Structure 1
Amino acid sequence: MPGKTIPPITTEIVEKLKELEEEFQDGDLTEKGYWKKKCKLFDGYLPEDVSKIITGLEKGLKENIITEVREQVDN
């Protein structure tokens, strides 16, 4: 079975990524919101198995089966 051809990333998506990064850096988005929006931008580019994993993780977060925990790392 031949592999899926991945379409090139459009300039529109590149611009949206820049805007998303700025919103996150400015504190307008949580880390969770940033990653959700970023994943949606790449929805058509991700392999089906990766999309299913992301969907499962999102469902787990919504149902509080898993939680968003960020560890502090000392440099």
Structure 2
Amino acid sequence: MYYVGIDTDKKFNVPGFWPDPKTLNKIPTEPHEIQAELARMKAARIEKRKRLEKKAEELGIDLNNLDQYDGGNTK
């Protein structure tokens, strides 16, 4: 279906279709924003590592002795 007219914005505008720009992710541009984002990413990475190490310990996996496993890859 084709529609040609001067009021296409009014006719096809759907309110709330596009997200509000204030809610979108913004790339940090200021040095203090960049440092804060890096610190947040590092804290998240450390928390994830601790959580995975705890789960490995619960499952009885020795993380120091993983060299013997090749992950199922054949050489």
What TM-score results when the alignment is normalised by the length of structure 2?
0.28
Larger Rg: 2
- Greater RCO, 1 or 2 (C-alpha within 8 Å, sep 6+): 1
